[in-house]
Amino acid sequence: MNFENHPCFNAKAHKKFGRVHLPVAPRCNIQCKFCNRKFDCVNESRPGVTSGILTPYQAMVYLDEVFRQKKNISVVGIAGPGDPFANPEETMETLRLVREKYPEMMLCVATNGLNIAPYIDELAELKVSHITVTVNAVDPEVGAKIYSWVRYNKRVMRAEKGVEILLEKQMEAIIGLKEKGITVKVNSIIIPGINEDHIETVARKMSEMDVDILNCVPYYPNAGSSFEHLEEPSKDMIHEVREKAGKYIKQMRHCTRCRADAVGLLGEVPDAALMDKLQACEQISKEEPVKKQKGIRSRVAVASMEGVLVNQHLGEASKLLIYDKKDGTISLLEARNTPPAGGGFQRWAQLADTLSDCGTLLVSGIGENPKRVLSTTGLDIMEIEGVIDEAVRAVFEGQSLRHLIKREMKACGAGCSGTGGGCG
């Protein structure tokens, strides 16, 4: 685990190493006057937006695909689209799953700091190495201009009272994180007419608290927010604020205001294929199938044209035959409809749900997209040609199917019914 490879904390790393944000935290516990979180806005690159919301299990399916497509990811983070610790169960479970499956991966979280304190010990145990805390003010009077309300201990408080608690908890959080040896970055939003003259004070305070780096982030106008009438800070204002803050603490100057589902290098154009994959993952089971967890995904699904042979490409199968074994007898349980063609990744995510009680899928051919989606759910996919009874019996009895495996691999759509419908 090389901490120098974090692209947000090390300017030298951001052109070589990427990050992925897992959007598992939709709820927020404060209302910032500059924020309007549009979860479905795929054309904006800013915090608080994402093309989908995932559960921890869905996030792991998505993460596996990210790692297949992107070989330069050095850190997995959670940055909303709400606040990770307004969604502590989802956040902590996701971090546990990532640490278990990818023990060498850096873990990172971005938060407002209001509710992180109860989780600092476990964050340290999970070796979450980098935390970003957004601190826009250290004076309650300034903070009251930035926040509309704060929700703490199930109570919603208006700005004046809520901000006092927010600032208190933020300071406690930073102290607790530093005591655990966690690298801390503080984000401060430069809001013209509100706090641009106050950020130097924030920088001085963060320096006194041994914060590692300060990121002075330019405000971005958001339609529908209370501050939608404000203009972005000018380049001269940004430069001046950073120069003043830089007298006290190291500055981050390469921030790209990442989305809650950002993936790849900082500033990289959002990957349309991965956005599609993220949305497809929303459609699969919200939790790992119970049958799989208990080791009894024992049924077998078969793609067949006439019900005698394994001889159909998955992309052209309107139904799959489901076989089960009960009291030593193998029998056809039912025929299940497959989702209609044309749905892309979402089609295969839906099929994964349909086959959640099956451990094996027998087909004569399969495209890369369905293979990718279905295999991540634990389904054993075999491309064979032969008599169904023989193949299914071999699966249930743990025998080899090597003699039935297709020797000549064909392009998607070839050797099927001839329609070329393939795997769309």
Residue boundaries of the structural domains of the chain: 3-281, 290-404
Assess whether pLDDT exceeds 60 at residue 24: yes
Is 162 within 8 Å of 30 (Cβ atoms)?
A: yes
Work out the pLDDT band at 227, boundaries 50, 70, 90: confident
In this prediction, residues 233-251 reach a mean pLDDT of: 93
pLDDT confidence of residue 365? 93
In this prediction, residues 131-153 reach a mean pLDDT of: 93
Is 333 within 8 Å of 323 (Cβ atoms)?
A: yes
Strands 183-190 and 155-158: unpaired
pLDDT confidence of residue 219? 86
- CA end-to-end distance (rounded Å), the chain: 39
pLDDT confidence of residue 167? 96
Assess whether pLDDT exceeds 70 at residue 70: yes
Greater pLDDT, 254 or 275 = 275
Range name among 152-156, 208-212, 309-313 with the lowest pLDDT average = 152-156
Work out the pLDDT band at 260, boundaries 50, 70, 90: confident
Q: Structure pTM?
A: 0.66
If one looks up domain 290-404 in CATH, what number appears? 3.30.420.130
Strands 213-218 and 183-190: parallel
Q: CA 132 to CA 110: how far, in whole Å?
A: 4
Range name among 7-21, 231-245, 389-403 with the lowest pLDDT average = 7-21
Is 241 within 8 Å of 218 (Cβ atoms)?
A: no
Q: What is the percent of the chain where pLDDT is above 90?
A: 49
Which of 17-26, 31-40, 71-80, 299-308 has the largest mean confidence?
Answer: 299-308
CATH superfamily of 3-281: Aldolase class I (3.20.20.70)
SS3 154: coil
- Here the tokens at position 97 are 């799953």
For 183, phi and psi rounded to 5 degrees? -70, 130
Q: Which residue has the tokens 């604020």?
A: 241
pLDDT tens-place string over residues 384-422: 999 999 999 998 888 888 778 765 444 444 444 434 444
In this prediction, residues 348-360 reach a mean pLDDT of: 88
Range name among 26-30, 45-49, 146-150, 345-349 with the lowest pLDDT average = 45-49
Q: What is the percent of the chain where pLDDT is above 70?
A: 83
Range name among 13-22, 134-143, 188-197, 313-322 with the lowest pLDDT average = 13-22
Assess whether pLDDT exceeds 70 at residue 12: no
In this prediction, residues 162-191 reach a mean pLDDT of: 95
Buried b / exposed e along 181-219 (16+ C-beta atoms within 10 A): ebbbbbbbbbbeebbbebbbbbbebbeeeebbbbbbbbb
Assess whether pLDDT exceeds 70 at residue 423: no
Work out the pLDDT band at 51, boundaries 50, 70, 90: confident
Average pLDDT, the chain: 84
Torsion angle of C-alpha atoms 129, 130, 135, 138, degrees rounded to 10: 40
pLDDT confidence of residue 296? 56
Range name among 9-18, 168-177, 181-190 with the lowest pLDDT average = 9-18
Assess whether pLDDT exceeds 80 at residue 301: yes
* Cβ-based neighbours of 10, under 8 Å, separated by 6 or more: 4
